[in-house]
């Protein structure tokens, strides 16, 4: 619908934030309610001008907004309207208010889908040609363990072999992990709900099926944990909020369904920062096992902490922006953030429809491949998903790979010791990748001015989507329900993103996607990122593998990041596996939890 259909007479001018070169005219006349005015300013695209905030400064709440007040607000906002424009704004306020009221009365909950689907592929680019080999991947060599406690820190790929050979039982493994969760959670605060009854039932079933030769695959009988924003039938799903700590959702998320089908054993719902931000939730602050005085990072806080402490075989997390990769780096996990659309988000709390992704936090690149292979694939309940094999059985030889890196980023002066350690780890990895026989390809850096504008502009898409996803929650609970995050402030601010600017930001995002494709299209894997920020990769939907590759002076893991082309996680796994075959950084054990 055009401006005429919305405004009525079609005479209203839509303004940029630069305002108009028109002189103010002193008019005092009929008024309208201040809140109505603020809402309509947002709807008409005036929020970015600063006019609503300026009006709030001159119009006390509950009073009618007069045209003279509007004139004062214009001066504060650096704007100038004509008499006719000022009058038309006032005349249309009530009409627009009815539209917003009707929309909010629809009660669109968090799980109501978004009709506009984000596609990370740039214009003109199709899905890569990936085929799945019919033959299974070779199993790792595993040494028999002396006691079940020795299995606590084994990669899931090794647990899989021991279970399949019946060297250990899923029941014993599950009991061991449940005991460790109970023992160490008071320190780490990583558990929201233990799923003990379900776990024992699933473990017994797994042992029976394995003994009968009915092996479901490499995750059969392996205990795991899930971030507590995945729906789990009959088990509370809190989203990290005290208001929801006893809420039961009567179905499983798609990823939970698929891991149950794979025979994995769910032992715990793991913590997340309040409404998926940070590492603070109603149970406290989730801690880093390598240094329990510090937080785990978030929002996949409990997943990262539990894997690092040897409390689960693997875990699932999610990422909108740095929520999986961030805590994986802090806690020394090997984590995989897949390409946008690889894994169904059905049954998972929405933060932002065009950003949310699901991925594994594990102890090795091989583990990440096993888990992603189990949960990836199309789902009619999530239209972002693609029907494309992961191709892990056809992982390329590293000697045939081109690995890119941005020289300017690796040589940049570090801002602090943390960044210095990360840069040094990447430089060490670059030399190791060259020693593996890969072709190293230096890539030119982005023009920083243009890149910053694109990333900064496109980021408002995330804010606007989050405000829409949580609209009902904010109305129902109010800001007082948030005790451990700044969500109310962020959501209120996002209400004033004009619709036109949201669309423009989406278009800027398309430009960014093409820029990244132009830079990365000639390499198989990128060591590090194209930028320092995590936001660029989440705007474009590219996959990342994070893994520890050294320690700092305090003995805490320091991680590297590998970035892949869209849907080419198999190349990330191939390179990550090759690096891990020559080191033991990923097998580190925090001293207080061994």
Supply the pLDDT for residue 561.
99
Residue 428 falls within a domain, yes or no? yes
Residue 26 scores a pLDDT above 70: no
Supply the pLDDT for residue 93.
58
Cα separation, 310 vs 321, in Å, equals 26
In this prediction, residue 37 has a pLDDT band, given cuts at 50, 70 and 90, of low
Contacts 24+ apart (CB under 8 A), 72-80: 74/24, 75/24, 76/50, 77/19, 77/49, 77/50, 77/51, 77/53, 78/19, 78/49, 78/50, 79/15, 79/19, 79/20, 79/49, 79/50, 79/51, 80/19, 80/20, 80/21, 80/22, 80/23, 80/24
Provide the CATH number for the domain around residue 308: 3.90.1300.10
Crossing angle for the helix pair 170-188 and 196-211, to the nearest 10 degrees: 150
Digit-coded pLDDT (tens) for 533-577:
899 999 999 999 999 999 999 999 999 999 999 999 999 999 999
Residue 130 falls within a domain, yes or no? no
- Pair 245, 238: CB distance under 8 Å: yes
Residue range of the domain that includes 327: 148-383+392-449+499-593
Dihedral sign (CA 393, 394, 400, 403): negative
CA nearest to 22, candidates 88, 91, 83, 66: 83
Residue 18 falls within a domain, yes or no? no
Structure tokens, 229: 């924003």
Sole residue written with tokens 């004509």: 82
Supply the pLDDT for residue 95.
64
Select, from the ranges 5-19, 72-86, 276-290, the one with the highest average predicted confidence (pLDDT).
276-290
Q: For residues 421 and 47, which has the higher predicted lDDT (pLDDT)?
A: 421
Residue 93 falls within a domain, yes or no? no
Its pTM stands at: 0.87
Domain count, the chain: 1
- Pair 279, 297: CB distance under 8 Å: yes
Residue 160 falls within a domain, yes or no? yes
Q: For residues 177 and 493, which has the higher predicted lDDT (pLDDT)?
A: 177
List, by residue number, the catalytic residues: 227, 299, 323
Residue 99 falls within a domain, yes or no? no
In this prediction, residue 67 has a pLDDT band, given cuts at 50, 70 and 90, of confident
Supply the pLDDT for residue 251.
97
Mean pLDDT of the chain: 88
Residue 247 falls within a domain, yes or no? yes
Q: Residue 144: is it exposed, middle or buried by C-beta count within 10 angstroms (0-12/13-18/19+)?
A: exposed
Residue 191 falls within a domain, yes or no? yes
């Amino acid at each position: 619908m055009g401006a005429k259909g919305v405004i009525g007479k079609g005479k209203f001018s839509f303004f940029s934030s630069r305002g108009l070169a028109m002189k103010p005219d002193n008019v005092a006349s009929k008024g309208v309610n201040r809140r109505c005015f603020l809402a309509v300013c947002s709807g008409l695209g005036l929020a970015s001008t600063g006019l609503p905030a300026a009006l709030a400064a001159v119009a006390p709440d509950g009073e009618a907004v007069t045209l003279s007040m509007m004139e004062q607000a214009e001066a504060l906002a650096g704007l100038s309207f004509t008499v006719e424009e000022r009058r038309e704004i006032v005349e249309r306020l009530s009409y627009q208010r009815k539209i917003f009221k009707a929309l909010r009365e629809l009660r669109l909950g968090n799980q109501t889908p978004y009709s506009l689907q984000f596609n990370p592929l740039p214009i003109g680019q199709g899905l890569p040609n990936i085929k799945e080999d019919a033959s299974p991947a070779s199993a790792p060599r595993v040494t028999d363990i002396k006691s079940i406690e020795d299995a606590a820190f084994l990669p899931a790929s090794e647990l899989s072999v021991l279970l399949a050979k019946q060297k250990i039982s899923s029941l014993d493994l599950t009991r061991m992990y449940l005991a460790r969760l109970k023992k160490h959670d008071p320190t780490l605060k990583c558990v929201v709900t233990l799923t003990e009854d379900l776990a024992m039932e699933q473990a017994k079933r797994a042992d029976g099926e394995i003994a009968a030769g009915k092996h479901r695959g490499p995750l059969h009988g392996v205990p795991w944990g899930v971030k507590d924003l995945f729906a789990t039938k009959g088990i509370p799903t809190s989203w990290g909020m005290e208001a929801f700590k006893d809420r039961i959702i009567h179905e499983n998320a798609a990823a939970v369904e698929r891991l149950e089908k794979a025979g994995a054993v769910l032992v715990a719902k793991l913590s997340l920062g309040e409404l998926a931000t940070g590492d603070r939730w109603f149970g406290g602050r989730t801690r880093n096992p390598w240094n329990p005085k510090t937080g785990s990072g978030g929002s996949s806080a409990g997943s990262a902490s539990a894997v690092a402490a040897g409390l689960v075989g693997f875990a699932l997390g999610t990422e909108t922006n740095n929520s999986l990769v961030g805590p994986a780096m802090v806690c020394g996990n090997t984590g995989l953030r897949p390409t946008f659309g690889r894994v169904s988000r059905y049954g998972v709390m929405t933060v932002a429809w065009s950003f949310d992704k699901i991925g594994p936090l594990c102890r090795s690149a091989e583990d990440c491949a096993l888990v992603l292979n189990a949960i990836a694939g199309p789902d009619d309940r999530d239209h972002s998903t693609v029907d494309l094999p992961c191709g892990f059985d056809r992982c390329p030889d590293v000697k045939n790979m081109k690995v890119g890196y941005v020289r300017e980023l690796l040589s940049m002066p570090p801002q602090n010791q943390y960044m210095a350690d990360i840069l040094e780890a990447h430089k060490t990895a670059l030399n190791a990748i060259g020693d593996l026989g890969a072709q190293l390809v230096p890539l030119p850096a982005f023009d920083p001015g243009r890149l910053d504008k694109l990333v900064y502009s496109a980021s408002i898409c995330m804010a606007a989507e989050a405000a829409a996803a949580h609209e009902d929650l904010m109305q129902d609970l109010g800001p007082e329900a948030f005790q451990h995050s700044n969500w109310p402030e962020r959501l209120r601010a996002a209400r004033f993103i004009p619709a036109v600017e949201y669309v423009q930001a989406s278009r800027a995002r398309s430009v960014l996607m093409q820029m990244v494709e132009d830079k990365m299209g000639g390499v198989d894997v990128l060591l590090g990122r194209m930028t320092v920020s995590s936001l660029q990769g989440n705007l474009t939907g590219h996959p990342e593998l994070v893994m520890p590759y050294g320690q700092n002076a305090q003995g805490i893991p320091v991680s590297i990041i590998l970035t892949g082309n869209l849907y080419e996680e198999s190349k990330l796994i191939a390179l990550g596996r090759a690096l891990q075959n020559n080191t033991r950084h990923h097998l580190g054990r925090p001293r207080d939890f061994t």
